[in-house]
Amino acid sequence: MPFFIYHPRYELKRGGHVFPVEKYRLLHDRLIAEGLVRAEEFLVPEPATDDELLLIHAQTYLQRLEELVDRPLAAIAEFEAPYPREVADAVRYATGGTILACERALAARTAALNLGGGFHHAFPDHGEGFCFINDVAVAIRATQASGLARRIAVIDCDLHQGNGTAFIFRRDPDVFTFSIHQELLYPLPKQQSTLDVGLDEAAGDDAYLAAMERHVPAILDGHRPELVLYLAGADPFEEDQLGNLGLTKAGLHRRDELVLRAARERGVPIALVLAGGYARRTEDVVDIHLATCRVMRELWG
């Protein structure tokens, strides 16, 4: 059976920001209300340790983050978001959740979904775009360090290129980084992933899914990963406030089916994180993430 990972501290009390942090709690509650997951079935992560963060991030950067806790508004210029203690703690718990998702997926040869995570814009020595710690990269290095897996594929379907992740693994042939994103959109300039697919605005379902069908099976067959890490971003949605790739909910559902089925058919464990989603109605973001959870249960249940 697949695993679901959540901590109440994922949600931040931060009003007026485009990132709907309440989506974590709302998704958790919807999963229970619709009978997809019982409350006691959720795994609760521990916060990532300093040693785990240091697998990716420079000591000087972590020290600077700690100093920002005392003057959180100073973080806005770099991260586009403040960095009070509750944010610092939430990031650590979310990173621990992504590590746990990788561990459980590999141990049980199944799928595991972290209801947080996907902070793919963070670099070893700085953060960007709401991202302070790159939980995806930390989880990959922790997984490699533990000996659970060496060859890993990142399938990044957030609206924005996973520039931090691309940079971190640019010289590691064991980690295949794939990013499909809106091309003329933040981040600019972009880093180089192992494979980038930059789409024009208003690409829509057909162009997006054709690219996914062409590349995802080929990546899994060619790279032969021991683990897939899937960023199931909700922000390619047609009602998103930060971009306009123009995907429908049905198209995003088919995207999730494609990735999860490709991994399932090849027997490759898969860890999922939710990444971005900035629709005008938070309910739409939760609906999209809920559909991802439902597909995971159907294909890996």
User: Which residues belong to the active site?
Assistant: 121
For 144, phi and psi rounded to 5 degrees? -65, -45
Query: What is the token pair recorded at 234?
Result: 């909700």
Cβ(152)–Cβ(229) under 8 Å?
A: yes
At residue 229's C-alpha, the angle toward residues 199 and 87, to 5°, is: 90
CA dist 1 and 74 (Å) reads: 44
**Contacts with 37 (C-beta within 8 Å, 6 or more apart), sequence order:** 4, 31, 293
Cβ(265)–Cβ(106) under 8 Å?
A: no
Strand partners, 230: 155, 272
CA dist 79 and 57 (Å) reads: 16
Query: What is the token pair recorded at 41?
Result: 């079935």
At residue 80's C-alpha, the angle toward residues 83 and 131, to 5°, is: 70
